[in-house]
A and B are shown apart, each in its own frame.
Chain A
Amino acid sequence: MQLVLDSEQRELRSAVRKFLLDQSPSVKVRAAMVSESGYDAELWRRLGAELGLIGLVVPEEYGGSGAGHVERSVVQEELGRALVPSPFLATAVLAVDALLALDDEAARAELLPALAAGERIGTVAVAEGRSDWDRSGGATTATERDGRWVLDGVKTLVLAGDVADLVLVYAATPDGPGWFAVDSAPHNPAAGLERTTLTGIDPTRRLARLRFTATPARPLASADPAAALDLVADLAAVALAAEQLGGLERAMEVTVDYAKVRVQFGRPIGSYQAVKHGCADMYSAWEHGVSVVRYAAWVADRAVQGESAELPVAAELAQAYLGPAYFEVATGMVQYHGGIGYTWEHDAHLYYKRAKSSELLFGSPARHRARLADRLGV
């Protein structure tokens, strides 16, 4: 087990941190979150073409860097710290992981290079009602007509669903669930695809509802589509936990810094035990969070090589721990800032909202704990 970053991984972290400090400060985050697309297209281009971060886990033969999940979790931490509104989780995590988990070599060769380069935005569409992922494919159907497949149904809570060029849809067929690719470039939108950007509490992360009406789709070969779905879900849980850890870390730092300089009753509020002990609890959550995320990312690397069976437990552990921990810290961030923390002007509310949207994105904490219990054999 390796829970400490090596020197290259630490260098990656400081390079990404510096890049985002320069290129995605709060003012740029706020501009992106109210823009039409909901993200900063120029920043996205540089993350892909210049830094090669989007294709981090994509093998070199498909235009990626062939790095691992520990590296990707390091990048996710930094994106979470800076609250960057971006389709990274949708593209670099969900879509990439799905293509790698499936058994469609032609689709990989054709689709991964553009995703890795940041030229196309990808995502997966699985959820229908709540955020739970139904292994049956749900009420969305894929039907073959004259050798061509079409999709019918509604998928929702789709990350970057309003801007994605490539949507990987998990749908039911008469022979069980399957994966289908819907190509919908802005200049050439897919027929029968209606996108609705959802109104949400977290302005830094957009979700969409996608309605498919006889939408042409390309079937993706898979020996076991449901097993691929499980793997994608587990890897996403790990990547999201890393993003949550980065946000937790920054929320804690900003709060501690403020507690050192904000004076009330003649002394810094951080000298009062009520505030100091709250900050200490934030720190304890951070130390545990780092340990859990390093472990889960280490397991993820071994699991995709077929060398570990621990991923199902590690992934739910990561969500069961980090989801509530981040929201708790973000709540404390607002609280210890007092009135200023409750303003639109201060960034505290952005962390609070991101923490809540992340905590529930792949199911409530209670659902994660229930799945953890399943996987522990309780």
Chain B
Amino acid sequence: MSRMSVLEEQQDYRGTARAWLAEHAPGPAAGLDADGLLRRARDFQAALYEAGYSGITWPTDAGGRGLGTAEAQIFSDEAAEYELPVGPFVIGMGMCGPTLVDLGTPEQKTRYLPKLLSGEEIWCQLFSEPGAGSDVASLQAKAVLDGDSWVLNGQKVWTTNAQWADFGAVLARTDPDRVKHAGMTMFIVDMHAPGVTVRPLRDMSGRAPFNEVYFDDVRMPADAVIGQVNQGWHAAVTMLGHERVSIGASRRPRSNPLEFASLVELARSAGVAGEPKAREVLADLFAHERALELFNVRMRQETAAGNPPGARGSVAKLAGAMLLRRAIETAGEVAGAGVVAWDPADTRGPELALGINSSPASSIAGGTNEIQRGIIGERILGLPKEPQVDRDVPFRELKVGTQRT
């Protein structure tokens, strides 16, 4: 196929996607209760699937469309014009689903993936524990084989979407006598099974976007294993790779109170847009925001040319978190104490406050800034690791988190 006709096809794809979104993007959510919001999200996801915009790059035997990243990028560019209700499905679409595409059995793919893509079933990911954050491989939840099924016990935390989830991808220890990375297995767990308890967890912004999940003697069938028994770390690394891509590809909402354009507006309404100090910090914010945008564009161009970003995704993740801190400083510089208290009638106040209060999440979730710098240092620059005291020791003998088993 000639280059021109590829471009023309992409133009067509963009035009069709744009028209479809204009017709099907749901209207305002105002006034809906929690159930109403979930129903609205499910209806839209079903429509996406029906139209072929769910799983654009996934293989056809997994229920996807088997298209390239170019089409996925086009659709995501067009979709960025809308605030689409895809929140309940991001973990399934971005992490669990792609991992099943990579490692699932044909039976698992047939059973789970079409319903995941259509929004009929919602997924969550269960890795982190109170004692296992950055060091996920030190997790203590355990699964023991009993006859022909596994029995799962333990606690997971920071579980996004668990309140809606039908299934979860859970990582559990299956052999504590092996070294820690070698004794884990990933399973599909039915979140409606007896013994599963989900409790909302309130974050520092006051919202409860995630949960803690308890497993008490939850039984899982033998065919619930994703990949191989005791090869859970491999499955986890596969999933975390998809997570990084998913975070990198996600577009920030169209109007973000902490981005340059919004803060220029804030400076104008505070009457300081002409002051040298305000102008300077705004320009500095622009420079860093634009540099990160350009870096993301460059990584996409390199990916399209056959050089996937790999660990360089950590640079974008880290820079995004640092950018938010800079933006918070800028907001304070231009609006002063107007950022911390406002008239009840002012609608911008709560938006900005939420941005400030939720920004620490970006420095922690999906790998802290410190972990990202470690990844950049070791995997990109080739700097030596620190001495690892946990490397050759059976998990049973390790000190883990803040507690002992």
A residues bordering B, Cβ < 8 Å? 1-4, 256, 259-260, 267-268, 270-273, 275-277, 279-281, 283-284, 287-292, 294-295, 316-317, 320-321, 366, 369-370, 372-373, 376, 378
Chain B contact residues, majority secondary structure: helix
Q: How far is B376's CA from A308's CA once the two chains are assembled, in angstroms?
A: 35
Residue of B nearest to A295 (CB): B294
Q: Would you list the 6 A-B pairs with minimal beta carbon distance, nearest first?
A: A276-B377, A280-B376, A270-B383, A280-B373, A291-B294, A373-B279
A378 pairs with B273, CB closer than 8 A = yes
Q: A271-B385, A287-B315, A378-B267 are in contact. List 11 more A-B contacts (CB 8 A).
A: A267-B387, A272-B386, A283-B315, A283-B376, A283-B377, A283-B381, A284-B315, A291-B291, A291-B297, A316-B283, A378-B273
Chain A contact residues, majority secondary structure: helix
- Can you list 18 residue pairs at the A/B interface with Cβ under 8 Å? A1-B297, A3-B298, A4-B305, A267-B386, A280-B318, A280-B381, A283-B377, A284-B376, A287-B315, A291-B294, A291-B295, A292-B291, A321-B288, A369-B280, A369-B284, A369-B287, A378-B282, A378-B283
B374 pairs with A288, CB closer than 8 A = no
A345 to chain B, nearest CB (A): 25
Tell yes or no: B210 within 8 A of A by CB.
no
Residue of B nearest to A277 (CB): B373
CB neighbours of B386 from chain A (8 A): 267, 271-273
A372 pairs with B301, CB closer than 8 A = no
A317 pairs with B377, CB closer than 8 A = no
A64 to chain B, nearest CB (A): 29
Query: What count of chain B residues pass the 8 Å CB interface test?
Result: 41
Residue of B nearest to A369 (CB): B283
B189 to chain A, nearest CB (A): 35
B291 pairs with A270, CB closer than 8 A = no
B279 pairs with A268, CB closer than 8 A = no
B284 pairs with A320, CB closer than 8 A = yes
Q: How far is B376's CA from A281's CA once the two chains are assembled, in angstroms?
A: 9
A288 pairs with B383, CB closer than 8 A = no
Tell yes or no: B319 within 8 A of A by CB.
yes
CB neighbours of B387 from chain A (8 A): 267, 271
CB neighbours of B273 from chain A (8 A): 378
Q: How far is B290's CA from A294's CA once the two chains are assembled, in angstroms?
A: 13
A279 pairs with B287, CB closer than 8 A = no
A270 pairs with B377, CB closer than 8 A = yes
B287 pairs with A320, CB closer than 8 A = yes
Q: How far is B305's CA from A1's CA once the two chains are assembled, in angstroms?
A: 14
A321 pairs with B291, CB closer than 8 A = yes
Residue of A nearest to B286 (CB): A376
A141 to chain B, nearest CB (A): 31
